[in-house]
Amino acid sequence: MKLTVFGATGATGKHVVEQACAAGHQVTAVVRDPSKLGRTDLTVVEADTLDPAAIEPAVAGADGVISALGTRNGRGPTTICAEGTASILRAMTAAGTRRLVVVSASGLATDGDDPLTKVLVKPIVQRVLRHPFADMTRMEELIRASSVDWTIIRPPRLTEGPRGDYRTAVDDGVRRGFVISRANLAHAILRALPAEDTFGKILTVAR
């Protein structure tokens, strides 16, 4: 597949790029600083994600677009997910590109959670991460209102562990799903891309 990746230099995006290239996909990474990639087996587009006209050529002709955008300031005010996604959606619409997979967070919802997680753990997490969660909530609203074939992937706390077994749930939470490795998240993203049964769905993933 021809894939375009946003957030390719981030902690999750690097795993996505590595696994996609290893699987033989044609990868285009949209970045602001190409030196942070350190790879030569893909196409690099230096552009501002918030500029739809600048990123339209990068998404044109793609079989799938992946957004692993996120803030490096985990608790402060941010709009990168919502604004970046709005720009990506505009560029995809202009280019006629249909498939989009976006990383969000399982902390936004309590569907399928056990009582302790729902009543105690999630409310604490939502207060601590209220700024990035507000940004992701707005991002999800924009995606749901769009006309693209989208999948929102919601992971819990991310680790740098290895690839291994993990669980998934469609339009529901993963019970006692507290962590997942970024390597597993990247695998779930790439596996969801061609899966039409995930179009217009929220996919929760956890170990």
Question: In the prediction, which pLDDT does 101 show?
Answer: 98
Which two tokens mark 166?
């993990």
CATH 3.10.450.50 describes domain 2-206:
no
pLDDT of residue 38: 84
| Calpha distance 163→185 (Å, rounded) | 9
Contacts of 32 (CB under 8 A, 6+ apart): 46, 47, 48, 49
Q: Which two tokens stand for residue 164?
A: 């291994």
Q: Mean pLDDT in each 10-residue stretch from start to end of the chain (207 residues)?
A: 97 97 98 89 96 98 97 84 98 98 91 74 81 95 98 97 96 93 98 98 97
Question: Which pLDDT value is given to residue 106?
Answer: 93
Q: 57 CB contacts (<8 Å, ≥6 apart)?
A: 45, 95
pTM of the model: 0.94
Measured between alpha carbons, how far is 165 from 202 in angstroms, rounded to an integer?
A: 20
**What is the rounded distance in angstroms from the CA atom of residue 25 to the CA atom of residue 38?**
18
Domains of the chain, by residue range, sit at 2-206
Q: 3-class SS at 151?
A: strand
Number of H helices, E strands in the chain: 7, 10
Query: What is the spatial distance between Cα 61 and Cα 133, in angstroms, rounded to a whole number?
Result: 31
- The residue with tokens 């285009």 is 28
Q: What is the model's pLDDT at position 76?
A: 83
pLDDT of 67 reads: 98
